[in-house]
Structure 1
């Protein structure tokens, strides 16, 4: 597993939820803030405007993707001057079922031009949110550009086909495509961040070969007896230079991140499996079940057994 794959695997819980909605102009829709989730809007047909009381309206066109990593509220409308209705399409609402809406949902308007949008959300576990996700802005807007974002464009096209014309297998295909969409969004955003001269932040870290090599080593084998010196060897740097660079970019020292990742991995295993505690301890680098339980309780506030029962 690479770092970005692990970020998504650990943070997300359950299946992504989505709904395919067609609006007929004039229309304006507010989407409520939903803490503990990451929301998205994919414009499949037509165009609309992203409205905010604190920013200039932004026009979205067919193929554009809007991602809200922190579940921030937002408003879409066919025109900035259109009146806005109450919040809808929230993850627990009737318009956002377990996977997708099997046929088109026509809403609002008076027969004007149509805008088709795939709206939805990923449920996140706040206790396991990777620090990379915490550094993302409130919204990420990626414009349709097949020449630069070929993979994203292809995923959007496949989603448009599946939700617009559901058939056998769509209920399995849509969640998989949504996971792919999320991966492409994060990959593109990280790659496009200006990192020249930057010495802090996850975008800089994942564009730094030395720090990335150490991160991949930790994620590839969290049970290994890592030391700062061994991770520095993976990075191809001296111990002191590596420790300074890693701490500056990641915001915590190498062994601090290692412990956090081990405990996060252990929490996922406790929630998702029935693997014995001694096996989980070994998988995250502890030869003693007692030492593992003590470290886990310091991090999560509960003993591993109690955490599993509560989950």
Structure 2
């Protein structure tokens, strides 16, 4: 898996504002002068050698709201194919290859995007699983820390609830100060600051991808007051929610393409 080093416009930084934050592209054979002309199910440029198939797919990610987890990923991720290792990833690759080999791809338009989603998920999961637990830092360590992982899961699944630092700290059996310090060290921001970032990210997605009224978007992201939501959103994005939904995309946004 590799990501480009340049930062062209993100998926939501094009005129197509109502697209998801990550756009899928159909897997395709990778061509090039070094690989020769790909043949469906055929061997590589050399005859008589091992037969191989190379597939390429891509996502365009919104760098303006990139999740910290992706910021930790290396430019190139190499996952060796070891027997018995990452069976879910190997299964997804085999299913994807079989789907592309079908002579009559009935339902392929539905199957391929779902398989590509799974492939990206399993690749990132496998990379994190392969990192030694005693050297893990950042999000790799946060996801392995029971207290911090539980807090992140709660924020992601119930961002609309009334959260305080004491809420996840009590479940973890930690004092508020100890939990806040551990969360900040691993995630990179204090718990309530991350909660606000996540709520605003979800709000921007709802504004772009749905026609929900502002009061519904505010309620889904934990704000009982539409005015308080609008004020927080403008502070985060520099534009009111209604203008963000219907207006031009802010300039200066960058993007990154992630390939599998």
Question: Which range, TM-score by smaller chain?
Answer: 0.7 to 0.9
CA shift in 2, pair 1:105/1:296, >3 Å: farther
Structure 1 residue 290 and structure 2 residue 227: aligned? yes
Structure-2 separation of matches of 1:291 and 1:21: 49
Aligned with 1:140: secondary structure?
A: coil
CA shift in 2, pair 1:146/1:111, >3 Å: closer
Instruction: Tell me which residue corresponds to 2:57.
Output: 120
Structure 1 residue 226 and structure 2 residue 163: aligned? yes
| Equivalences for residues 215-294 of structure 1 within 5 A | 215-294=152-231
CA shift in 2, pair 1:196/1:190, >3 Å: same
TM norm structure 1: 0.67
Structure-2 separation of matches of 1:145 and 1:11: 34
Structure 1 residue 16 and structure 2 residue 50: aligned? no
After superposition, what is the alpha-carbon deviation per residue over 1:156-211, rounded to whole angstroms, capped at 9, x for unaligned? 1111111122421122211111100111111111122123265x400000011110
Structure-2 separation of matches of 1:160 and 1:105: 9
Q: After TM superposition, give the deviation of residue 15 of structure 1 in Å.
A: 2.7
CA RMSD of aligned residues (A): 2.7
Residue segments in structure 1 that go unaligned for 5+ positions in a row: 1-9, 29-76, 79-102
Structure-1 separation of matches of 2:158 and 2:79: 34
Q: After TM superposition, give the deviation of residue 110 of structure 1 in Å.
A: 7.4
CA shift in 2, pair 1:209/1:109, >3 Å: same
Structure-2 separation of matches of 1:110 and 1:190: 35
Aligned with 1:222: secondary structure?
A: coil
Instruction: Tell me which residue corresponds to 1:67.
Output: none
Instruction: Tell me which residue corresponds to 1:151.
Output: 88
Aligned with 1:14: secondary structure?
A: strand
Aligned with 1:141: secondary structure?
A: coil
Stretches of 4+ aligned residues off by more than 3 angstroms: 103-115
Structure-2 separation of matches of 1:233 and 1:105: 56
Between Structure 1 and Structure 2, how many residues are aligned? Answer: 227
| Equivalences for residues 44-123 of structure 1 within 5 A | 104=40, 109=45, 113=49, 115-123=52-60
Structure 1 residue 191 and structure 2 residue 129: aligned? yes
After superposition, what is the alpha-carbon deviation per residue over 1:34-68, rounded to whole angstroms, capped at 9, x for unaligned? xxxxxxxxxxxxxxxxxxxxxxxxxxxxxxxxxxx
CA shift in 2, pair 1:187/1:286, >3 Å: same
Residue segments in structure 2 that go unaligned for 5+ positions in a row: 1-18, 250-260
Q: Which has the higher helix share?
A: 2
Q: Which has the higher contact order (CA 8 A, sep 6+)?
A: 2
The answer to whether the Cα contact below 8 Å between 1:21 and 1:104 also exists between their aligned partners in 2 is no
Structure 1 residue 161 and structure 2 residue 98: aligned? yes
Q: After TM superposition, give the deviation of residue 239 of structure 1 in Å.
A: 0.7
